[in-house]
Structure 1
Amino acid sequence: MKCAYRHWSRRLVVAGLSAASLLLAAPFNLAQAQEPIKVGLVAALSGQSAKSGEAIIRGLSIAISEVNAAGGINGRKLTLVSRDDESNPGKGLLAARELIQREKVAVLFGGLDSPVSLAIVPFANQVKTPFIGVWAAGTNITRNGAKDNYVFRVSAVDAFVGEALVNYAIKKHHTKKPAMILINNPWGESNEHALQDSLKRHNLKAVGIEKFETNDVDVVPQLTRLKQSGADVLFMVANVAPSSQVVKSLERMGWDVPIVSHWGPAGGRFTELAGPRGESVHFIQTFTFSEKQSAKANDILAKLKADYSVKTLADVTPAVGIANAYDALHLSALAMKKAGSTDGTAIRNGFYAIDKYDGLIKTYVKPFSPSNHDALGPNDYIFTHFVKGEIIPLE
């Protein structure tokens, strides 16, 4: 009897411990299930292009707040973790590794600089984490040749921008002798190919192509050669600081040649650095806040005023960073909902499954497919210029 009693008692103790374990584990598992989903950002948050990173964070943050207010991703909230790449490819790659491997972000967003994004692309594909570009326009960021591609973009694409710049130069300036002044990096190379291809389609040829470095403070020698070639339009590709040096060098030369530019000048304090002539530079954008805009744009502008002390439209420059990031976050949220998990491959396939999204820039219909990872196309650009610090549409 004593033996039987001991066995019976032992079974009660074991059963009690198992029940207690279940009770203790249940709250933990519940809490784990409700942990927020992290999304990451690697962008220029300091230096001459800091305004671009600021704009991207604002666009992502407003969209995250909207997603969370609507119940999050299957009940889980989103939270943003950002790192400054200082416009340096090496630092950008290190930041991407930290966010993906240590912070366990479900998706990673990229910033202004194509060289930084290009440094991250192979790693993102290797670890099968969706990487969404919201500014960098280098064609081979998304068209990277990977058999298993995890890189998407809601932004301009150099291959399309080249055609837009050439069309504008022909229509606006009736160019016969276009020339190029390009930053000497992979982004400049990407645009050189795009511009040459487009010029060839229009039976035109560049009379000169000049390169310059990010830290050059005098571009007069390169511009002098372009002037001597008879150039009647300059295609410019560079970000804020180097673009401003081109404009100041032209001013010193007294050469009043039209500049048709990629969107690099929009990324920071361009007119402050370039001087009054900076307002004569015409450049592409995917979106601007303006006097007449959609209800969604008015709603986003109201949130910017409430959350970031925005008072005028000049305070939301560059609007393109806000809009691209806002739409990219909502598209990513749809992909995560369709995935039903934070698995990278499931999210990648979730992007392909998006049917329609009424965004800030446009209404997206089947924006992604295995053969197309760019949500914006050649018809999604407008030309703009600066007026008293505000980016204003030209047409």
Structure 2
Amino acid sequence: MWKNPLCRAALLCAFSLIQSGAYAQASVDNDVIRIGVSGPFSGGSSPMGESMRNGIRLAVEEINSIGGINGKKVQLIERDDQAKNDVGAKIAEEFVQSKVVAAIGIVNTGVGLASIDAYQKAKIPLMIAVSTGTSLTRKYAPPAAPENYIFRISPTLDLEAKTLVADLKRRGLTNAAILADSTAYGDAGLKAFLEQSKLAGLKVVAEERFNIGDTDMSPQVKRAKASNAEALVLWGIGPELAAVAKNKEAEGWKVPLLGSWTFSMGNFIELSGKAGEGALMPQTFIQDLGSASKNGFLLAYQRSFKTSLIPSPMSAAQGYDGMHLLYLAIRQANSTDGTKIKEALENLNSRYQGVITSYSKPFSKQDHDAITQNMVLMATVAKGRVDYAYSDDKKRGALLRLKAQR
């Protein structure tokens, strides 16, 4: 069943994760391969950041348990960007100065936009594990630049918006209202949803915004309701999305609630309570035991982190798969040179059975996004967890979703 030795290691090894001290130091050691990890490990975005980090740690434990990369162990250098753009930019500069071999992380689109220039200039490959901001991998894509060092293993905002619009059409709805936060993520999400709605002939009858930290969006919800929208679409992160869901419930507005993939965050599900039940969102990964690769990953995660419910399953899975793809590229390049690693990522000659999909040449020189539309499905909040929205998707959950031609 387990042809990939790394997947086999997930089941056979009793992982003993070294805690933050071993991960935090940036001391130079020629006997290790140092990978920078950045994400929000505190604050409202922390369920995504911590889950991503755990997925990355789990992958590294597997990699090191079979000898590391070309005989060298992987050392993670972890930094908390606090979901703040300026902090993220400083971390990127720190990683460049300390000469990490590659970096993985980035949860918030604004942080990503503030960070990618440093990696690109230094020719250090960055694997974006969570952020969906479409422009992150496109800024330096040909012909804008001769080389692009920014890769991604999460869906883009365009794919999210397209999936949401398709679901609204599937339900026979002709219009919707959208509420988006005021961050770069909200800006990009609003733009993507408006563009995809126009292409599909769906009318957006109300547009409202809110700020990070806002706890009462009832005025925006009332205006959206007054527009006679047939559905409410949200774009933001857990705490604020939960506040809107509660405002919608208090208003007695019984239309479908859809939104960005961040509805799957543990803090949305916990804070929204029954108001969040039935919320619909796009996902690349559902926490169930539907396939062998998922089963091994989930059992290993539970054993290592002592939890049966991942705060952000999609973040964890993408961090895990992204780290394994970096491993394959560094091994193939047989070098810690950034340009050689980038070229290996663009021409991976090893197929990797991940927990999201089976990766066969996930990147090319022209395309640095590993996820395509066929890998994104609709999920729903049900009984305090994220589940498949449609039984057909659940049946297909164990099937390989190979990268589609764009």
Distance 1:199 1:271 in 2: 27
SS of equivalent residue, structure 1 residue 290 = coil
Match of 1:387 among 379, 382, 385: 382
Q: Provide structure 1 residue ranges, at least 5 long, that are not aligned to the other structure.
A: 1-31
Residue 33 of structure 1: how far off its partner (Å): 8.7
TM-score by length of 2: 0.84
1:297 corresponds to which residue?
294
TM-score by length of 1: 0.87
Matched letter for residue 375 of structure 2: D
1:165 corresponds to which residue?
164
2:189 corresponds to which residue?
191
Residue 34 of structure 1: how far off its partner (Å): 5.9
Match of 1:372 among 363, 367, 373: 367
1:55 correspondence with 2:51: yes
- Matched ranges for 1:78-157 at <5 A: 78-102=74-98, 104-145=99-140, 146-147=144-145, 148-157=147-156
Contact kept, 8 Å, 1:338 with 1:353, in 2: the verdict is no
- Alpha-carbon RMSD across the aligned residues, in angstroms, is 1.6
Matched letter for residue 354 of structure 1: L
Contact kept, 8 Å, 1:49 with 1:268, in 2: the verdict is no
Distance 1:176 1:394 in 2: 20
1:268 corresponds to which residue?
266
Distance 1:297 1:264 in 2: 20
- Matched ranges for 1:1-395 at <5 A: 35-102=31-98, 104-145=99-140, 146-147=144-145, 148-172=147-171, 174-291=172-289, 293-310=290-307, 312=308, 315-355=309-349, 356-395=351-390
Distance 2:222 2:253 in 1: 9
The aligned length equals 358
Give per-residue Cα distances to partners, 1:268-306, cap 9 Å, x unaligned: 311221221112211111101214x22222111221222
Give per-residue Cα distances to partners, 1:212-258, cap 9 Å, x unaligned: 11122221222222212111011211001111111122122221221
Give per-residue Cα distances to partners, 1:158-217, cap 9 Å, x unaligned: 111111000011113x21111211111221221222212221222222111111111222
Q: Which has the larger radius of gyration?
A: 1
1:27 corresponds to which residue?
none
Percent identity, please.
32
Distance 1:193 1:272 in 2: 29
Contact kept, 8 Å, 1:318 with 1:391, in 2: the verdict is no
Gap change, CA 1:99 and 1:388, over 3 Å in 2: farther
Distance 1:386 1:177 in 2: 23
Gap change, CA 1:64 and 1:376, over 3 Å in 2: same
Distance 1:53 1:201 in 2: 33
